[in-house]
Structure 1
Amino acid sequence: MKMHKPVELVSYDKQWPEAFQRIRGKLLALLPQALAIDHVGSTAIPDMAAKPLIDIDIVLPGLEHIEDATRALLSENYEPRGNRHDDEMWAFLSTGLAPAERVYLCPVGNRTHKNRLAFRDYLIAHPEAAADYAALKLRLAAEFRMDGDRYTAEKREFVDTIVTRALRGDD
């Protein structure tokens, strides 16, 4: 039987942007071929409650760069977490340092990456939508405390709605 870790949300930590910059520097040295290294997820949104985990998308010039980048991440003790979102997005986890890091490799033009940036930027620009998202996350974390997959699945409709608004340019 698979043991589930509880869904743990913490209050926004003003150190998260600094942690991202430090991690970004380390990743850029490790992966000089990266076209972009972006802070995504809830830790990238000011005042958002989040899992204490920095989500980072690394955009590579093409699929042919994934294998070398994977080797580089494995050499730094990132654990492979598989291809996510059915969208050529490879996940890696590093829990050795605090905050933990979840790094995604994707080729340039990746749809999931584009959607994540749109979601992040919309919530930063629309504090009322960010507050709605925070309330939803806190409610779901309490309801599905031992079921992280369900917690994530239950956020999907809200996330999709915001991404659609952001990509349409709605205010």
Structure 2
Amino acid sequence: MTIRSVASKFLEGICSNLKLNCSDLMTVFTGANCCINSSRINIFLDNEPQPSSTKNLIHLSQIIRTGKIAMYDYGDQEQNIQHYGQASPPLYDMGSIPNGFPLFLSYGGKDLLSDVNDVRLLLTDLKDHDKNKLVVLFREDYAHADFVMGVNAKQIVYDPIMAFFHDN
């Protein structure tokens, strides 16, 4: 039995034991998804949780906790100095992304993982980006999983992404 199947069974067990609709459980993490039908929930459970490293999850929690988009904090000044040449991890300078580099950003008004205010801050950092190289797709009704599994995601998200790739 794979780790993924164990995790899937674990989530199914939580839903069953607590008599929860698993879409409600998913909503706790992703936000209130508008466009996922019940047949897609099983696909979600078959493919969740997505694999990630512990270090990646710690890094994400550091960003959330500090509110700063910085490199990984090793929690030890000496290790940070060894990796970065300074006692604390340096911030990522989102404004240093080359203005002509093509960017496609999409986000939703109900997304709990890609918060609207955070995306607005990023867009402020990108205010000087070439307007013809920055495409921003905002959907007020979309939460995190809608971008992946929404019944209308092909038309709303994937077709514009493919057009963007074609143009760039």
Q: Which has the higher contact order (CA 8 A, sep 6+)?
A: 2
Structure 2 length as normaliser, TM-score?
Answer: 0.28
Structure 1 length as normaliser, TM-score?
Answer: 0.27
